[in-house]
């Protein structure tokens, strides 16, 4: 059964046939990532504030493991943290086959810039058009 989210994603990827939606039409491929990147570039509204949907990989040692609290606080000053808020600045032109669409962001608290994978981010305004656009991308990227 095809849900509304799959239909939105299929339109972005130019998949018309419902059989293709259920089969390989929605697979994450370099071609589909390129289509999705262009679509997001054309439709994301700026400014767009985003946050992480969970801890970044480097943080898990400190938040779930035996990592030292002082060391964690020091590293959060130079690395992005799940507790940070960012402004989405733009999209990288190159896609990463492992991480998908990459974006440049600027941390609100100190203006430090980072390049992050979009699927780990979500807009802070859940009522915005951007929220659905980025959420659809993340669900597609993670599940296909």
CB 13 within 8 A of CB 98: no
Q: How far is the C-alpha of 126 from the C-alpha of 39, rounded, in Å?
A: 20
Q: How far is the C-alpha of 62 from the C-alpha of 70, rounded, in Å?
A: 10
Mean pLDDT of the chain: 91
The domains of the chain are located at 4-143
Q: Tell me: the pLDDT tens digits for 29-74?
A: 999 999 999 999 999 999 999 999 999 999 999 998 999 999 999 9
Q: Mark 32-53 as b/e (b = at least 16 C-beta within 10 Å).
A: bbeebbebbeeebeeebebbbe
pTM for the model stands at 0.88
């Amino acid at each position: 059964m095809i849900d509304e989210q799959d239909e939105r994603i299929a339109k972005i990827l130019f998949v018309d046939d419902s059989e293709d939606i259920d089969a390989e039409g929605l697979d994450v491929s370099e071609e589909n990532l390129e289509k999705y990147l262009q679509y997001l570039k054309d439709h994301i509204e700026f400014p767009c504030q985003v946050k992480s949907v969970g801890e970044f990989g480097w943080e898990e040692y400190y938040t779930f493991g035996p990592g030292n609290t002082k060391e964690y606080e020091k590293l959060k000053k130079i690395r992005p943290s799940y507790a940070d808020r960012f402004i989405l600045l733009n999209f990288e032109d190159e896609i990463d086959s492992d991480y998908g669409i990459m974006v440049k962001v600027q941390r609100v608290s100190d203006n430090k810039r980072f390049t992050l994978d979009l699927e780990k981010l979500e807009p802070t305004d859940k009522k915005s058009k951007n929220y659905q656009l980025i959420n659809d991308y993340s669900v597609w990227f993670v599940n296909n």
